[in-house]
Structure 1
Amino acid sequence: MTDWPYPRWIAHRGAGKLAPENTLAAFRLGAQHGYRMFECDVKLSADGIPFLMHDATLERTTNGREMLGNAVSGVGGDHRWSALSLLDAGGWHSRTWAGEPLASLDNVARYCLQNGYFLNIEIKPTPGTEVQTGAAVANAAAALWKDAAVPPLLTSFQPEALEAARAAQPQLPRGLLLDSLWMGWLETALTLDCVALVCNQALWDASTVLQAKSAGFRALSYTVNDEWAAQRLWDLGTDGVITDRIDLFAPGS
């Protein structure tokens, strides 16, 4: 991408930690704080519906065990969307958000498109479904944003998922997520035709930023929650930060 269309500030999982992550309630709260771009995690239900959830299992952010029963799998991807859509994905956070449902990618796309917001979709496969999830999420994103001027940015820690997304919808922009600089990280991002590297903030220094920029990548960081850390990254010349602290950072800055 010769012109980078995305804002510098990206709200992590919708609203960081101020609302139940990966729900439309979190997106709305992030928007109230002035954010125009959101990061979210997307995986597949058993019947192939892309939906928002970070963990492989339901326990932390839903009442899945209570509703589906202890005798069934606690893995979100093992259940059909008709069952998942009935879960409470807000009560774990606080009583204010009790009853908030899981969000489908379709719901989130409509919200973002109607309001002119940008999206970073982290492809978050249930282990063992990297290829299936990468292709399905890319196909869904291409269909949902087919008339949009700016498509979502697809990212993943899993090269297999990004390769499947590339094969399915090569026109969609991709970014490789890195929590360490494993051998071949730069070459892998080049092979996948990525436009961005999204790194644990500690991985960026003058040398790694130079490597990324020289190879033509935009440099993004997660999860940046301190003013000194954000300033360090701007001073290095990076292009965007993903933050939980939507209450601390003014996204227009």
Structure 2
Amino acid sequence: MSLRLSRVIGHRGVAASAPENTLTGFRLAAEAGFSWVEFDVMLGADEVPMLHHDERLGRTNDGHGRLCEQDAAALKRLDAGAWFAPAFAGERIPDLAEAISCCRALGLAMNVEIKPAAGHEIRTAEVVSETLNALCPDLVDRIVVSSFAPDCLEVAKEKAPDFHRGYLCETLAEGWRQAAENLGCVSVHPNHRALTEAAVAAIREAGFRTLTYTVNDPLRAATLIAWGVDAVITDEPSVAAALA
């Protein structure tokens, strides 16, 4: 089934307006007009998939140490909102099932980035795949699974073959096309800072769609779309408004 993309995807919810990777972030993204959101998934110590970007706690919450060494119950006791603004105090780190339920209720499609802690690539991808298979069989045209880790995409290809995959990278390094093809990806997700019009054309000519991150300038977003980029991932509601 074809992937139904929007031209804008909210980065970690809508990271300019709300704490990243939170349910409130998804709600505010929907209110701002986004129909897609991107978020990161990492395993806790008890193998519950949690929404979190960094291997270590502390930047976006009041925790300490490595996320993969704490279980879901402990992680859900952390405050994941006060760091952003006092109004968000008490916001919690959601697990993947909660995120899916929230996005489903809001009508949001999902770019699920598998973000494994070092050494946990295979198991993280297995658990994410199992969760998507169990909770989202009707959303295969509204979900793309991406990762910087090829091992994660290989597992997703095997364990959750119905879901689209995206090849996430900083730049189009040598061998990108063959790697994306071998992993059965439908899209390539480079950093927009490395993108040129020629690179976008090369991605399109290779048969992939282009999603690019993290584009917070509306003029840059408009340029990228004019070049043929399919979707820009952004923190900023102003980008969504400009491309509406």
TM-score where L is the length of structure 2:
0.95
User: Where has structure 1 moved over 3 Å in runs of 4 or more?
Assistant: none
Q: How far apart in 1 are the matches of 2:19 and 2:52?
A: 11
Q: Secondary structure at the match of 2:212?
A: strand
Equivalence for 1:220: 211
Amino acid at match of 1:231: A
Residues 51-80 of structure 1: CA distance to partner in whole angstroms, max 9, x if unpaired? Answer: 100000001011113xxxxxxxx0001111
Q: Secondary structure at the match of 2:9?
A: strand
Whether the aligned pair in 1 keeps the contact of 2:37 and 2:111 (CA below 8 Å) is yes
Alignment CA distance shift 1:144-1:252 (3 Å): farther
Deviation at 1:166, TM superposition (A): 1.0
Q: How far apart in 1 are the matches of 2:242 and 2:102?
A: 19
Q: Secondary structure at the match of 2:166?
A: strand
Corresponding pairs, count: 244
Deviation at 1:229, TM superposition (A): 0.9
Q: Secondary structure at the match of 2:113?
A: strand
Q: How far apart in 1 are the matches of 2:117 and 2:14?
A: 23
Unaligned stretches of 5+ residues in structure 1: 66-73
Whether the aligned pair in 1 keeps the contact of 2:55 and 2:67 (CA below 8 Å) is yes
Equivalence for 2:33: 34
Once the two structures are overlaid, the 10-residue window that deviates more, 120-129 or 207-216, is: 207-216
CA root-mean-square deviation: 1.5
The counterpart of 1:75, out of the listed 53, 62, 66, is: 66
Unaligned stretches of 5+ residues in structure 2: none
Q: How far apart in 2 are the matches of 1:34 and 1:54?
A: 24
Amino acid at match of 2:113: E
Q: Secondary structure at the match of 1:64?
A: coil
Residues 28-71 of structure 1: CA distance to partner in whole angstroms, max 9, x if unpaired? Answer: 11111111110000111111111100000001011113xxxxxx
Q: How far apart in 2 are the matches of 1:248 and 1:229?
A: 9
Q: How far apart in 1 are the matches of 2:152 and 2:122?
A: 5
Whether the aligned pair in 1 keeps the contact of 2:22 and 2:92 (CA below 8 Å) is yes
Once the two structures are overlaid, the 10-residue window that deviates more, 209-218 or 75-84, is: 209-218
The counterpart of 1:210, out of the listed 201, 208, 212, is: 201
Equivalence for 1:71: none
Equivalence for 1:230: 221
Q: How far apart in 1 are the matches of 2:50 and 2:242?
A: 26
Q: How far apart in 2 are the matches of 1:248 and 1:217?
A: 23
Deviation at 1:151, TM superposition (A): 4.1
